[in-house]
Structure 1
Amino acid sequence: MLVLDSVSKVFPTGAFGRSGVTAVRDVSFAVRPGEVVSLIGESGSGKSTIGRMVLRLSSVTSGRITFDGADIAGLTRSRQLKEYHRRVQGVFQDPFSSYNPIFPADRVLDVVRRGFFPDVGAAAWRERVDEALEVVRLDPGQVRGRYPHQLSGGQLQRLLVARALLLDIRLLVADEIISMLDASTRIDVLNLLADLRARGLGVLFVTHDLALGNYVSDTTVILRRGRVVEMGATATVYADPAHPYTRRLLASVPRLDQRWADLPLDAADTRPCPYHARHPHGGPALLALAEDHHVGCFAEGDAPCQGADGPPA
């Protein structure tokens, strides 16, 4: 369905854009129908930039993003983009920023009707809205006519998911959609994503929280400074992490049975880099350790790697 092939993004900087900052470097992965793919990494790793490129909110510097085989960069006409956004939608971190406080919250649903379904009658549209609200576990009577300050963050976030469902979307980009919600509400939104996956919806789940990614995703993509350092089936990546950065991320997750200060967060990884053991002179961007597990070079950033003869540089 969605395929990223060697995608990079460079933001111009300096006078007249003569310099640039590379936010995403040679990223490749796919999202299939009924699959949740988690993009995981620290702040600045390129997660949200990838989500924005998928939504066509930011352009691709090099590489290709295709949806059903069509390069989305070639969607230049407003009608083509409108059709694309009928099938691909995003929900973002702060639900309150998506609402105008002087209008009822459900006005965001009426905007969909005016933009995509102007010929649908009021009664038919109300019935369709009620169905979408029930799918995201909202009582229409409790959210219709309410203002954003009268609803919780979880209700507002689910209302945005309902807005996306009104378009019969096939892919949802969920960018840190639960980071501003309390713990009890987070589970409700995560279970909603699981329900949507069961309905055949593909989800690109952007998060910095490994526990949440483990709970909801089928495939995990670990990003480090804009590059994919490890990728594979979530159970495999979490049970047997190959890259030192993935190991450090997992070691940083707080545990109930051990003090955080006692964890060896900065322990040196002395294993040789498997990438250079098989490709000493370069090769593919990721090395296949197994059919559902890939890993990148152990080098940090742009530092040279010591290859198969020693620990990462």
Structure 2
Amino acid sequence: MNRLVVRNLSKVFNVGFFSKKRIEAVRNVSFEINEKEIISLVGESGSGKTTTAKMILRLLPPTSGEILFEGKDVWRDLSNKEQLKDFRRKVHAVFQDPFASYNPFYPVERTLWQAIGLLERKPSNRKEAMEIIKDSLIKVGIDPKDVLGKYPHQISGGQKQRIMIARCWILRPLLIVADEPTSMIDASCRGGIIKLLMELREERGTSIIFITHDLGLAYYVSDRIFVMKDGCIVEHGHTDKVVLEPTHNYAKTLVASIPKLYRKLEDV
């Protein structure tokens, strides 16, 4: 069953004050993701990956096209507060830049309390809620005492990013849009974060859109890969097909840039 369907999605920006210039950030992009599936959008900076993600998350309106989540158009069919709240409960994001996800005037755990507020079955008391928050932090490799009560400027970028993944663990969403979710996390912790996302897939049936410039990582975590360049999908298919039998020149360039370590792992 399709969990998310993206059809003919485009986004045009008009830039400039006196002389408007049209920039087509996303051009006629179509794909779907099924239950429990992980797909990757792969491409260089400026390829349209993050703009596509923002439209799916209702952060940026599309110029044309449609985005269907569980059969409903996320821009046309979610008309009231309860529908939007349900969408926020079921669809969650982990951004490459975790700094933008926090209000500098509040302690960092505020984002986890907001997740508690979105739960359909809420904890019976504050103590139970705090235990859920602490468990989620431990799950992503953070000692609660290292971050609770602290403000965003007092913790590292990697800790901020892991807290956003802890928020995912609390919500157990049906769809996660993960934009370079391990970019600021120490190499020693990345495997644990990927494992946690896989656990969500198995336990909750969560689908994941993994956005990255690293084709090797996409090959490791994904069921299918969509390669983007200049706002368009130029290559797509099962991971083996895209990585081992690329047809588009840009996809071939990405494959050639995969570190030898990934290639050694393929032979293990």
Q: Same fold (TM over 0.5)?
A: yes
Residue 222 of structure 2 aligns with which residue?
217
Please state if 1:167 is matched with 2:194: no
Instruction: Specify whether residues 177 and 168 from structure 1 end up closer, same or farther in structure 2 by C-alpha distance, changes over 3 A only.
Output: closer
Counterparts of 1:87-236 in structure 2 under 5 Å? Answer: 87-101=90-104, 103-114=106-117, 120-148=124-152, 151-199=155-203, 200-236=205-241
Q: CA RMSD in A?
A: 2.6
Q: C-alpha deviations, 1:253-283, integer Å up to 9, x for none?
A: 3447xxxxxxxxxxxxxxxxxxxxxxxxxxx
Q: CA deviation at 1:250?
A: 1.3
> Take 1:149 and 1:48, find their aligned partners in 2: how far apart are those partners?
25
- Report the count of equivalent residues: 256
Contact 1:154 1:186 in 2 (8 A): no
CA deviation profile, 1:115-149 (whole Å, cap 9, x unmatched): 66788521332233244334434444554334445
Shift of 1:183: 2.3
Equivalent residues in 2 for 1:1-313, closer than 5 Å = 1-14=3-16, 19-74=21-76, 75-101=78-104, 103-114=106-117, 120-148=124-152, 151-199=155-203, 200-255=205-260
Identity, in percent, stands at 45
User: Quick check: 1:154–1:189 contact (8 Å CA) kept in 2?
Assistant: no
Are the equivalent residues in 1 in contact too, given 2:227–2:233 (CA < 8 A)? yes
Which runs of 5 or more structure 1 residues have no equivalent in the other structure?
A: 257-313
Q: Deviations over 1:201-232 (max 9, x none)?
A: 11111111112111211110000111111111
TM-score normalised by structure 1 residue count: 0.73
CA contact (8 A) 1:38 1:217 kept: yes
Q: Are the aligned partners of 2:161 and 2:185 in contact in 1 as well (CA < 8 Å)?
A: no
Q: 2:172·2:200 contact (CA, 8 Å) conserved in 1?
A: no
Q: Which has the larger radius of gyration?
A: 1
The Cα of 1:167 is off from its aligned counterpart by 2.7
Cα drift, residue 34 of structure 1 = 1.4
Alignment match, 1:289: none
- Which moved further from structure 2: 130-139 or 38-47? 130-139
Give the superposition deviation at 1:110: 1.8
* Paired AA for residue 199 in structure 2: D
Deviation at 1:35, TM superposition (A): 1.4
Q: Residues 245 and 151 (structure 1 numbering): CA distance in 2 closer, same or farther, change over 3 Å?
A: same
CA distance in 2, matches of 1:142, 1:157: 14
23-32 vs 120-129, greater mean Cα deviation: 120-129
Amino acid in the other structure paired with 1:218: D
